[in-house]
Amino acid sequence: MAIKNSMTGFTVREYSIPELKEAATLMRGYDLVALCAAGSGHAGGTLSIMDITAALYLRIANHDPKNPKWPDRDRIVWSTGHKAPSLYLGLAFAGFCPLEEVVTLRKLGSPYQGHPHWLKLPGVEVSTGSLGQGLSIAVGIALAGKLNRKDYKTFCIMGDGEQQEGQIWEAVMEASHHQLSNLIGIVDRNRLQIDGKVEEVMNVEPLEEKYRSFGWEVIRCDGHDMQQVVHAFEKATNGFGKPVVILADTIKGRGVSFMENIAGWHGKSPTYDELLKGLIELGLNGRIQVKQLLGKAEQYQAEVEARLNAKMPRFHGDYWWNSRQNMKVKMEPTRKGFGQSLKKNGEDERVVCLGLDISGSITISDFYTSNPERKDRWISMGIAEQSATSAAAGLAKEGKLPVLGTYATFAAARNLDQIRTSVCYGNFNVLIAGAHGGVSVGPDGATHQALEDLFAMCGLPNMTVVVPCDAVETRMATDFLLMKYDGPKYIRFAREATPVVTDERTPFTLGKANVIRFRTEAADFADGFQTVLASDYENENEDLSIIACGPMVPEAMRAAWILKKDFGYEARVLNLHTLKPIDEAAILRAARETGVVVTAEEHQIGALAWRVSSVITETPLLYGVPVITGAIGVKDRFGDSGAPWELIKEFEVSAEHIARKAIELMDVKQTRTLHAERHFDLTPTK
Ligand SMILES: Cc1ncc(C[n+]2csc(CCOP(=O)(O)OP(=O)(O)O)c2C)c(N)n1
């Protein structure tokens, strides 16, 4: 067993224990460099799994770096996708890819995505990032191995927090039922997850008894003792006639004292100084060409930026946020407003918040952080979105006001049937927060960028869907939904800091859009606009309308500014914060009174665009009235790793793209008007 030449069957290299130890240390060093260059990522878990990675990729697995698709290779599935850098370093050290290229980690277009994508990098077996799915994929691969009478082994690397996902236990059951003796699970048992200690967030122990009772063989080892790790693997691959799991005791952040055993280092990357300190602690001072590697990352980044800038629509001036005097705007993540509302309304004894192990980042923990007495109403559910959703329905049934939230993709897709049947069908009063929506989630990449959640949420009967435009509106919307609205409700907000364009005086009425009009240039961008409830707005015969939701509203406002300054066009911006129920009257008026409608959403095109279109096409009021429409949004593709504002450019969801689309539509409108006038001239009078 080792790195092979698949043509000859010869072993290319077999690492000794001291060589494996040395490789693991070097891999830790390169990991820190790549994370530092990326400016984000997961230091803790990548360091805890590194000895296992070195043993598996350099000594245990049969594979051929020159022939990554060799049918007889052992398969390695990383169910715990956030440890991707360790996977990349395992591949690089085994010779699958150039080591120095791993520093392009998490950058736009890089094969070294924030979470592994097998279609981008040879050697990566499957794409993961949504926890709890890898073991099921591994079951499928192992079943195929048996059906195809192949001898390969399938390894699956998991986290201990990840064991909280119910799907893991479905797969554990399947593997045992089908006697998958060719399947080896590995649990990186570092005892920490995002919200803290696994035993406190949601205890998964005793894992050994659990796996055994499901019919698996269990091997325990110290995951940092290379001899024990290799021995555990060798034992596991010798065959027990049933699936085997290796429970490896590890330390999160292993090797760097200030990262060890600290939950805060879960999703953090080292600064340059921390990197240097870390390398010294690892005994690697001077052994890794840090400057050269960081230089390579910078060069890659410069190329990304040049490419993005070249593809941006051009106007007379640079209208980018805060780029010049009058484009100054305060930026705040929309999610902040969610936490502020929970902090305020949490005093109501009926409010209960369900934690899904991403609590600080989505601000749901603001519910209790300054009010520890509320801790008994803070219900930690672990990484178990499906069960938590149905549990929320149960809480609502008994009169509680349950709130649950996580990344929008796990809050609205992973648990979709639970939302549909447990929550919506029963019409229960549950508030679901889809945090980190859209591509602006950034370097975590496609698996973490919800771009389809609004389709599903808007498609559910009884569901109310709100997509607030900034932090202030998020607070107002949460206040209203939580305290004044009874029924299933979904609020979607973003991760990145986005412009604050509303204030205390801005109206927020559920189901009613606001009209925003550019009036004059002001020192603060937002002060240049006037906002009124759409039903109170009097037609000003604008040239076109832009209908937007979420952080695309500030982009729409900036587009209105560009259109006025560069082209003299007046744009009516509609902030359609409530996608469901939709404000039909405001849409119809915008369509009829301006004749041109551009929609803008940070989502696959359609959640907003098609809903707006259906309002326009279904009403007899607009029969025979020409309305020219265009849509800005993600065009039927998955997301990518990259910096948030780079992704806004890459996926063409910026003000510049809205403005360009608006001009295109205005050209059509003007040509039609001209045509109609000519037609009119030629028509003989009766
Ligand atoms: C389905 C799903 N829910 C939530 C997340 C966000 N998330 C990423 S890592 C993580 C914690 C994982 O803990 P653990 O499995 O113990 O990994 P480790 O501590 O070893 O990094 C969570 C909740 C996710 N990626 N997928």
Task: Compute φ and ψ for 404, nearest 5 degrees.
Answer: -135, 150
384-439 residue pLDDT tens? 999 999 999 999 999 999 999 999 999 999 999 999 999 999 999 999 999 999 99
Pocket of ligand 1 contains residue 422 by CB under 6 Å: no
Query: Are 493 and 556 members of one domain?
Result: no
- Specify whether the backbone of 166 is left (phi greater than 0), alpha (psi in -120 to 50) or beta: alpha
The pLDDT > 90 percentage for the chain reads 95
Query: Are 535 and 460 members of one domain?
Result: no
Across 41-147, where does the E strand assignment appear? 75-78
Cβ proximity of 54 and 24 under 8 Å:
yes
Residue 547 corresponds to which tokens in the numbers above?
């209908």
Residue 325 has pLDDT above 90, yes or no: no
Q: Give me the count of residues in the chain.
A: 686
Cβ proximity of 230 and 58 under 8 Å:
no
Mean pLDDT for the stretch of residues 161-181: 98
Residue 683's pLDDT is: 46
Query: Are 495 and 513 members of one domain?
Result: no
Which residue lies with its CA nearest to atom 16 of ligand 1?
161
Query: Are 371 and 234 members of one domain?
Result: no
Residue 95 corresponds to which tokens in the numbers above?
């010779």
Ligand 1 atom closest to Cα of 129? 25
Residue 676's pLDDT is: 65
Query: Are 43 and 151 members of one domain?
Result: yes
> What's the 160 CA to ligand 1 centre distance in angstroms?
9
CATH number of the domain bearing residue 177: 3.40.50.970
From 86, 137, 163, 194, mutation site for ligand 1 pocket: most ligand atoms within 8 A of C-beta: 194
DSSP state of 370: T
Helix (H) or strand (E) holding 466: strand 464-466
586-627 residue pLDDT tens? 999 999 999 999 999 999 999 999 999 999 999 998 988 899
Residue 142 has pLDDT above 50, yes or no: yes
Binning pLDDT at 50, 70 and 90, where does residue 326 land?
confident
Distance CA 445, CA 107 (A): 9
Residue 85's pLDDT is: 98
Residue 297: inside a domain: no
Select from 499, 534, 569 the last residue of a domain.
Answer: 499
From 80, 131, 189, 224, mutation site for ligand 1 pocket: most ligand atoms within 8 A of C-beta: 131
Pocket of ligand 1 contains residue 192 by CB under 6 Å: yes
Burial 10-19 (b: 16+ CB within 10 A, else e): eeeeebeeee
Ligand 1 atom closest to Cα of 198? 16
Query: Are 224 and 81 members of one domain?
Result: yes
Beta bridge partners of residue 402, listed in sequence order = 352
Residue with the two structure tokens 């072993």: 11
Pocket of ligand 1 contains residue 79 by CB under 6 Å: no
DSSP string spanning 145-176? HHHTT----EEEEEESGGGGSHHHHHHHHHHH
Strands 514-518, 571-575: pairing is antiparallel
181-212 residue pLDDT tens? 999 999 999 999 999 999 999 999 999 999 99
Distance CA 653, CA 260 (A): 40
Distance CA 135, CA 159 (A): 11
Burial of 496 (0-12, 13-18, 19+ CB in 10 A): buried
Distance CA 323, CA 656 (A): 14
Query: Are 359 and 380 members of one domain?
Result: yes
Ligand 1 atom closest to Cα of 192? 19
Residue 682's pLDDT is: 45
Which residue lies with its CA nearest to atom 19 of ligand 1?
193
Q: List the end-to-end C-alpha distance of the chain, in Å, as a whole number.
A: 94
Residue 242: inside a domain: yes
Query: Are 283 and 138 members of one domain?
Result: yes
CATH number of the domain bearing residue 590: 3.40.50.920
Pocket of ligand 1 contains residue 499 by CB under 6 Å: no
Cβ proximity of 596 and 544 under 8 Å:
yes
Cβ proximity of 462 and 488 under 8 Å:
yes
Residue 148: inside a domain: yes
Select from 451, 479, 499 the last residue of a domain.
Answer: 499
Residue 369 has pLDDT above 70, yes or no: yes
Residue 127: inside a domain: yes
Three-state SS sequence of 172-218: HHHHHHCCCCCEEEEEEECCECCCCEHHHHHCCCCHHHHHHHCCCEE
Mean pLDDT for the stretch of residues 656-668: 98
Pocket of ligand 1 contains residue 190 by CB under 6 Å: yes
- Please count the helices (runs of H) and the strands (runs of E) in the chain: 24, 22
What three-state secondary structure class fits 405? strand
**CA 126, 452, 401, 333 torsion-angle sign:** positive
Residue 319: inside a domain: no
Residue 563: inside a domain: yes
From 188, 357, 365, 436, mutation site for ligand 1 pocket: most ligand atoms within 8 A of C-beta: 357
Residue 491 corresponds to which tokens in the numbers above?
């609020």
Which residue lies with its CA nearest to atom 11 of ligand 1?
193
Among 126, 119, 170, 165, which Cα is nearest to 144's?
Answer: 126
Residue 681 has pLDDT above 70, yes or no: no
Residue 685's pLDDT is: 43
251-282 residue pLDDT tens? 999 999 999 999 999 999 999 999 999 999 99
> What's the 448 CA to ligand 1 centre distance in angstroms?
12
Pocket of ligand 1 contains residue 357 by CB under 6 Å: yes
Query: Are 371 and 353 members of one domain?
Result: yes
Distance CA 379, CA 367 (A): 11
Among 34, 8, 502, 110, which Cα is nearest to 290's?
Answer: 34
For residue 376, count other CB atoms closer than 10 A to its CB: 9
Query: Are 22 and 136 members of one domain?
Result: yes
Pocket of ligand 1 contains residue 411 by CB under 6 Å: no
Pocket of ligand 1 contains residue 80 by CB under 6 Å: yes
Residue-range definition of the domain harbouring residue 151: 17-291
Query: Are 115 and 263 members of one domain?
Result: yes
Pocket of ligand 1 contains residue 167 by CB under 6 Å: no
Mean pLDDT for the stretch of residues 134-146: 98
For residue 535, count other CB atoms closer than 10 A to its CB: 15
**What is the count of structural domains for the chain?**
3
Residue 309: inside a domain: no
What three-state secondary structure class fits 631? strand
Residue with the two structure tokens 């001209």: 674
Which residue lies with its CA nearest to atom 25 of ligand 1?
130
Pocket of ligand 1 contains residue 160 by CB under 6 Å: yes
Count of alpha carbons within 13 Å of 625, Cβ hemisphere only? 20
The sheet carrying 217-222 orders its strands as 75-78, 154-159, 183-189, 244-249, 217-222
From 157, 192, 193, 385, mutation site for ligand 1 pocket: most ligand atoms within 8 A of C-beta: 193
Ligand 1 atom closest to Cα of 42? 21
Binning pLDDT at 50, 70 and 90, where does residue 684 land?
very low
Distance CA 106, CA 112 (A): 6
Mean pLDDT of the chain: 96
Among 164, 175, 11, which Cα is nearest to 77's?
Answer: 175
Strands 401-407, 464-466: pairing is unpaired
Helix (H) or strand (E) holding 668: helix 655-682
Cβ proximity of 379 and 352 under 8 Å:
yes
Distance CA 686, CA 682 (A): 12
> What's the 195 CA to ligand 1 centre distance in angstroms?
10
Pocket of ligand 1 contains residue 358 by CB under 6 Å: yes
> What's the 131 CA to ligand 1 centre distance in angstroms?
6
> What's the 21 CA to ligand 1 centre distance in angstroms?
27
> What's the 383 CA to ligand 1 centre distance in angstroms?
7
Query: Are 548 and 486 members of one domain?
Result: no
> What's the 81 CA to ligand 1 centre distance in angstroms?
8
Residue 137's pLDDT is: 98
Tell me, yes or no, if the pTM score tops 0.75.
yes
R_g of the chain, CA atoms, integer Å:
27
Select from 447, 464, 499 the last residue of a domain.
Answer: 499
Cα distances (Å, whole numbers) of residue 156 to 80, 139, 153, 172, 331: 9, 9, 10, 12, 41
From 83, 199, 383, mutation site for ligand 1 pocket: most ligand atoms within 8 A of C-beta: 383
Peptide bond into 68 cis (omega under 30): no
Which residue lies with its CA nearest to atom 8 of ligand 1?
82
Residue 230's pLDDT is: 98
Distance CA 442, CA 496 (A): 8
Ligand 1 atom closest to Cα of 356? 23
Among 193, 108, 183, which Cα is nearest to 142's?
Answer: 183
Pocket of ligand 1 contains residue 191 by CB under 6 Å: no
Residue 686's pLDDT is: 40
Across 196-292, where does the E strand assignment appear? 217-222, 244-249
Residue 310: inside a domain: no
Helix (H) or strand (E) holding 524: none
Residue 575 has pLDDT above 70, yes or no: yes
Helical packing angle, 552-567 and 655-682, nearest 10°: 50
* Angle formed at CA 547 by CA 543 and CA 552, multiple of 5 degrees: 120
